[in-house]
Amino acid sequence: MQLTVLGCYAATPRTLTNPTSQVLEINNHIILIDCGEGTQVELRRHKIKFSRINHIFISHLHGDHFFGLPGFISTMRLLGREKELHVYGPKGIKEAITLLLKLGDSWTNYPLLFHELSSKASELVFEDSKISVATIPLDHRIYTNGYLFEEKIGKRKLNIKAATEYGIDKAYYQNIKNGKDVTLDNGEVIVNSKVTFDPPKPKSYAFCSDTVYDESLAEKIKDVDVLYHESTFLESELELATKTKHATAMQAAKVARDANVKTLVLGHYSTRYKSIELFKEEASTIFPNVLLANDGKTFNF
């Protein structure tokens, strides 16, 4: 599972920082999460192929999280895209994007499919044989969702050495990989677990930005491998965080601790601070395994 941070700063773009956007590679899916201004440039900078992105998940309709989307959609048209592009986001995103396409007389020449969300409860919004994606309702100034990405359990891996020792014919290997037992010519049944290895443990990633501190959030993301949680402010600006419905680094760490996550990634920093290291220092007093997102940074989990 690989996370590439294209932008992770709050509010406005600057010469050295970008608003929220990231690419998650999970079980052979390349997924774009939020699409602030500058996303296209950063995708090119990191040599991420536009054509491999088939699913885009937008958390909410504040500009620093989706103003890059109209441009991205238009560029895909210019590049001759033909396959479907799915956009998941709050109700209203379809109207916002299609109005721009209409006024510019630049309808896409590929299927552009919107999946508008309005439920205040968690819901499954995408699923195939490899992954599932569910919403994580967040508490911000407007309707906002985080997203929980989870791998499906893969097939068991054939233990060729064990299969050979049992004298199992190669014709049965595919059935074994599919989880089936094998009956030998003498009638003996070899249970699947004796000739296979367990598949890798499925990985999970929770994206939570933007939100005020919410104790109940921990139950919704229990035991995830990686949690990205906004940390717009430090505790010294707690009053401002509460007023604007954002979180502090310490509050993000509390969520990570209570959810028993393996790794916490902080982001969505206010640019008022001299160093983002201050966020890690604060969060580390509550939760030990803290990483700092930064524009252009790639994490492998």
Q: 1-154: which CATH architecture?
A: 4-Layer Sandwich (3.60)
The answer to whether the peptide bond before residue 210 is cis (omega within 30 degrees of 0) is yes
Predicted local confidence at residue 190, as pLDDT: 93
CB atoms within 10 A of CB 140: 18
Predicted local confidence at residue 75, as pLDDT: 97
**In this predicted model, what pLDDT tens digit does every residue of 156-175 receive, in sequence order?**
899 999 999 999 999 989 99
Predicted local confidence at residue 155, as pLDDT: 83
Boundaries of every domain in the chain: 1-154, 157-197, 211-292
User: If you average pLDDT over every residue of the chain, what do you get?
Assistant: 96
Q: What is the pTM of this model?
A: 0.92
Q: Which residue type sits at 166? A: Y
Rounded distance between C-alpha atoms, residue 83 and residue 263, angstroms: 35
What DSSP assignment string belongs to 137-186? EE-SSS-EEEEEEEEPP-PPEE-HHHHHHTT--GGGHHHHHTT--EE-TT
**In this predicted model, what pLDDT tens digit does every residue of 262-277 receive, in sequence order?**
999 999 999 999 999 9
Catalytic residue numbers?
Answer: 64
**In this predicted model, what pLDDT tens digit does every residue of 63-122 receive, in sequence order?**
999 999 999 999 999 999 999 999 999 999 999 999 999 999 999 999 999 999 999 999
- Residue 140 assigned ligand-binding role: yes
- Token pair for 125: 């919004």
Three-class SS of residue 260? Answer: coil
- Residue 64 assigned ligand-binding role: yes
Give the pairing type, strands 182-183 and 29-35: unpaired
**In this predicted model, what pLDDT tens digit does every residue of 210-223 receive, in sequence order?**
999 999 999 999 99
- Residue 169 assigned ligand-binding role: no
